Structure 1
Amino acid sequence: MSEGSKLPFLPFADAAGRAAYFEAAYLKQLEVNKALEQRIIALERQAALNSKTSSQPPSSDGLKKPPAQKRTQSLRGKSDRKTGGQPGHKGKTLRQSSTPDHIIHHYPQVCDACGAALSASMAENTVVRQVVDLPVPPPSEVTEHRVHLCRCGQCDAVTRGGFPEGVAGPVQYGPRIAGIASYLQTYHCIPEERLSLVLSDLFGLSVVPATLARLIGRTADRLHPFAKAICKGLIGPQVAVKHLDETGFRVAGKTQWLHVICSPLLSHFRVSSRRGDLLTGVCGLVVHDHWAPYFKMEGVQHALCNAHHLRELQALIVIEKEPWATDMKTFLLDAKAVADTRTDDCTIGVGVMGELLQRYDDILTQAVDFHEAQPPLQAMSKAGKRRGRPKRRTGHNLALRLQTRKSEAIRFLTDPNAPFTNNEAERDLRMGKVRQKVSGCFRAVRGAEIFCCLRTVTCTARKQGWSVIETLMKPSDQLIAQLRFG
């Protein structure tokens, strides 16, 4: 045996002590191996998650494409409908106008048969084709306001007229330019440098980024009362169902949180330094994604987002291959189909409801029994001592959550006003993440607050069916008077 391969000296008095030492070391190594095996399984699961099996965005999937036969996996499952537009869908097909702006006549010059000359007076029929295009953008208009000084004929005093509200400097940009700039930057996430180029190329305006920032900031300040009115309406009883969500936001080099509360007609955004900084005084039904602090809200009912549940179940089906997950996914889709057939005059029958509830309980009982029959997971702290409750598998946690929060998970069945998902809030938050990807972050809190205010106004205007540009030009009190809550 070489000098480097010698075993270390072990100070044991006899062979029995040496055997006990190696037995204890062997048992300890078994525990370590089991813990490492579970850690490998957890890391492999994390690497296998994608936008179909978790809340990760599709952009996180990267350039890797699944096999062709699996590219169109949908959590909604198959249906008996044909692809494309369904009966009754109006669509937005480009149609010919009955009052064209310009008409150009095209006559044949010679006869195709004999070569004789032809004229316009010989026309018998007409075939029409139209081309829809945009006119050349007109040059900017300059409106001059002249304030006159008039001398009184009785007392000889000189009185000066007043400029309209908002006309403050010798020369300035008007509200339409400010509205277009606010719309393009906030709703379409165009940075100020590129926005300056857009205005120059489209309208011939030479507006530097600093001026654009001032225009957009003043627009947000003017519309701040309208944004506050939207928030107040969403919190109060005027809106029966509210959707809540939040996402991380980089502001001034720190992680902040973009919160949204919305409905099909209203949206309100705000930025906060704490994720748990939730609104107070909210009433009605709140829909969210099971984040624990939402359950601390007082005076509200809760409904959980089943799109999240479907993605978690899909992960259990694809990765862990747990049989109960397929049954629960099928149940949720079947229950949604039943809920979608409900109308004001037709509710879900007592028998059908009872069968659905019993089916829900049976699936979760099967799931809990399945996991309780599995060997326990190895959960050890760095010191080697167990702490807290026993570690559970992902599927076990989901099954227990669905059992504990049964009324919230299936509220879409029992409450006609409750939606199946929280997609209303998810859609509203999506462009906030796009803005962060485009610009990286906000350099100051002021910029984030301007974004939230104008995003509140533009999203609400879109939902209300208003012209977004005209909305950004109007005063807050006029917009508040036109606001519809439900």
Structure 2
Amino acid sequence: MALILAQQAQIAALSARIVELEGRLGGPPRTPDNSSLPPSKGWKRNLPERPKTPRPGHAGVARALAEHPDRIIEAMLAACPHCQHALGPADLPDVHAYDPIELPPIRPVVTRINRHRGVCPCCQRRISAPAPEGFEPGSPFGPGLCALIIHLHATQAIGFQRLARLLAEAFGVRVSEGAIANILARAEAPLLAAAVPIAAAVRASPVVGSDETSARVGGQTWWQWVLLSSTAVCHLIADTRAAAVVTTFMAGARPQVWVADRYAGQLGHGAARQMCLAHLLRDATYAIEEGGTVFAPGFRLLLLRAMAIGKRRHRLKHSTLAQYRVDLDRRLDRLLSGPEPKPKAARRLFHAMRRDRDDLFRFVTRPDVPYTNNACERALRPSVIFRKVTNGFRAEWGAKVYAAAASVIATGRLYGLTALAAIRAALTGQAIIQQA
């Protein structure tokens, strides 16, 4: 009898589970338009063939001439090719200029250091000339070459084997895979040191955005976090997705506004929060596809209206923006005062907006607050590509080096530095943020 009762309870639990799963199957499919599914996993329809209509012509556009060409060749005519009349410079006033561009043979610059040694004729002690400054013994690879190797590995996602082959074939530098690993290991200390002021700049910012994505470290799933402001971008790779990562990083700092999606680990880090409207727009789209007919369509239109205001708020007066904010809140009140939606996704979104309604439209009256979290997603996109190409990191120190390099590169670009220039500045101890 006990066995029968246990089996009945198990059958009831499994039947409820079957009903739940069948309900999920009945819902609309998750797509990049109604969820956080990346565009690469979405279904792509075949585009219709374009009609073969004649294209109207337009004036051609030539490549701009270089401001400082390395050399100039003056092509002159000594005589007319038709009548052989002698010509001088005054007879050829017009010039047709164009710039052929070519790469010279790329070869490394090798400096031989001969440190002379001997025995002092006075004290009979062995003596040796000191190493020239900047050419101390140790690694034979200079900061320029090291910066190039880190740049190609971190930003172009080139693995060690292909990188060694590229250096040998394109630059004439033979570097083994082990030497590349040693270069990255030696770069850990200067890159981490360069990331310290970057992290401090993020903590001191009144508005901070954050997002996270998965990473692979040592065959395990870790998480890469990005925290950014208008002056700095900081990357972290940790073994957890918990809010403790952000709490530890902020070290007690509390920005005025925290911009993020609705993930629970992003809550409570700022005095106020601005939810990403792009995420909410996808949630509203899914709720409509699931069958929401009242709240979800109205909420989607309200989000589109708010985003349209955000795009042109820099041209509007503060008083006008304040009126827009009141109008948006009034429209939201009307939506939330209606009956509770029946579909599950719309009902969940309805209750979430009742709870977090104050975090929707803070950006309207604050021009420094973005209305989406797209800046964080764009900052994480190169790391996602790196993970897919290289399959992550073998050791934790490699993840730390990559996160520090990503912070240096992204912050350097805010100040007009190329990735190569930012990495070289970090390796040589130059400040990134102060090079505005």
For Structure 1 versus Structure 2, the TM-score category normalised by the shorter chain is: 0.7 to 0.9
Q: Using a 3 Å threshold, how does the CA distance of structure 1 residues 128 and 403 change in structure 2: closer, same or farther?
A: farther
CA distance in 1, matches of 2:365, 2:428: 39
Residue of structure 2 equivalent to 1:315: 286
- Equivalent residue for 2:156, pick from 163, 175, 188: 188
* Paired AA for residue 39 in structure 2: P
Asked if the contact 2:209/2:229 (under 8 Å) is kept, the reply is: yes
Can you list the C-alpha shifts for 1:289-339, whole angstroms capped at 9, x where unaligned? 111122243x53211111111122222334535343332222222223323
* Paired AA for residue 245 in structure 2: L
Residue of structure 2 equivalent to 1:57: 38
**TM-score relative to the length of structure 2:** 0.81
Q: Does 1:245 align with 2:211?
A: yes
Residue of structure 2 equivalent to 1:449: 400
CA distance in 2, matches of 1:313, 1:150: 81
CA distance in 1, matches of 2:93, 2:26: 71
Asked if the contact 1:196/1:209 (under 8 Å) is kept, the reply is: yes
- Equivalent residue for 2:222, pick from 229, 245, 256: 256
Identity of aligned residues (%): 22
* Paired AA for residue 96 in structure 1: L
Can you list the C-alpha shifts for 1:3-56, whole angstroms capped at 9, x where unaligned? xxxxxxxxxxxxxxxxxxxxxx9xx99x95x9756633423546x222122111
CA deviation after TM superposition for structure 1 residue 126, in Å: 3.4
Structure 1, 96-105 or 427-436: larger mean CA deviation: 96-105
Q: Using a 3 Å threshold, how does the CA distance of structure 1 residues 397 and 118 change in structure 2: closer, same or farther?
A: farther
Residue of structure 2 equivalent to 1:434: 385
Larger Rg: 1
Q: Using a 3 Å threshold, how does the CA distance of structure 1 residues 214 and 362 change in structure 2: closer, same or farther?
A: same
> Where in structure 2 are the equivalents of 1:264-413 lying within 5 Å?
264-276=230-242, 277-280=244-247, 281-284=252-255, 285-297=257-269, 300-320=271-291, 322-343=293-314, 346-349=317-320, 350-366=322-338, 369-371=339-341, 374=342, 393-413=344-364
Structure 1, 416-425 or 317-326: larger mean CA deviation: 317-326
CA distance in 2, matches of 1:345, 1:318: 35
Aligned with 2:308: secondary structure? helix
Q: Using a 3 Å threshold, how does the CA distance of structure 1 residues 295 and 174 change in structure 2: closer, same or farther?
A: same
Q: Using a 3 Å threshold, how does the CA distance of structure 1 residues 130 and 37 change in structure 2: closer, same or farther?
A: farther
Can you list the C-alpha shifts for 1:355-401, whole angstroms capped at 9, x where unaligned? 221012212333xx151xx3xxxxxxxxxxxxxxxxx7111111211
Residue of structure 2 equivalent to 1:177: 145
CA deviation after TM superposition for structure 1 residue 405, in Å: 0.8
- Equivalent residue for 1:102, pick from 53, 57, 72: 72
Residue of structure 2 equivalent to 1:12: none
Asked if the contact 1:226/1:477 (under 8 Å) is kept, the reply is: no
* Paired AA for residue 51 in structure 1: P
CA distance in 1, matches of 2:420, 2:362: 39
| Structure 1, gaps ≥5 residues long | 1-24, 70-91, 375-391
CA RMSD of aligned residues (A): 3.6
CA distance in 1, matches of 2:228, 2:126: 55
Q: Using a 3 Å threshold, how does the CA distance of structure 1 residues 335 and 206 change in structure 2: closer, same or farther?
A: same
Asked if the contact 2:160/2:177 (under 8 Å) is kept, the reply is: yes
CA distance in 2, matches of 1:59, 1:232: 35
CA deviation after TM superposition for structure 1 residue 212, in Å: 1.3
- Equivalent residue for 1:43, pick from 7, 20, 25: 25
- Equivalent residue for 1:223, pick from 183, 191, 201: 191
Residue of structure 2 equivalent to 1:83: none
Q: Using a 3 Å threshold, how does the CA distance of structure 1 residues 110 and 443 change in structure 2: closer, same or farther?
A: same
Asked if the contact 2:234/2:407 (under 8 Å) is kept, the reply is: yes
Can you list the C-alpha shifts for 1:119-157, whole angstroms capped at 9, x where unaligned? 764954535252352422432111233445698899787
CA distance in 2, matches of 1:406, 1:205: 59
Asked if the contact 1:442/1:448 (under 8 Å) is kept, the reply is: yes
Residue of structure 1 equivalent to 2:58: none
CA distance in 2, matches of 1:124, 1:485: 47
Aligned with 1:187: secondary structure? helix
Q: Using a 3 Å threshold, how does the CA distance of structure 1 residues 120 and 419 change in structure 2: closer, same or farther?
A: same
Residue of structure 1 equivalent to 2:433: 483
Asked if the contact 1:225/1:476 (under 8 Å) is kept, the reply is: no
Asked if the contact 2:415/2:435 (under 8 Å) is kept, the reply is: no
Aligned with 1:330: secondary structure? helix
Structure 1, 317-326 or 331-340: larger mean CA deviation: 317-326
Aligned with 1:250: secondary structure? strand
CA distance in 2, matches of 1:206, 1:244: 41
Aligned with 1:474: secondary structure? helix
Residue of structure 2 equivalent to 1:74: none
* Paired AA for residue 386 in structure 2: R
Aligned with 1:359: secondary structure? helix
CA deviation after TM superposition for structure 1 residue 196, in Å: 1.6
Residue of structure 1 equivalent to 2:52: none
Asked if the contact 2:164/2:176 (under 8 Å) is kept, the reply is: yes
CA distance in 2, matches of 1:473, 1:341: 39
Aligned with 1:245: secondary structure? strand
Residue of structure 2 equivalent to 1:203: 171
Q: Using a 3 Å threshold, how does the CA distance of structure 1 residues 166 and 358 change in structure 2: closer, same or farther?
A: farther
Asked if the contact 1:219/1:472 (under 8 Å) is kept, the reply is: no
CA distance in 1, matches of 2:38, 2:79: 60
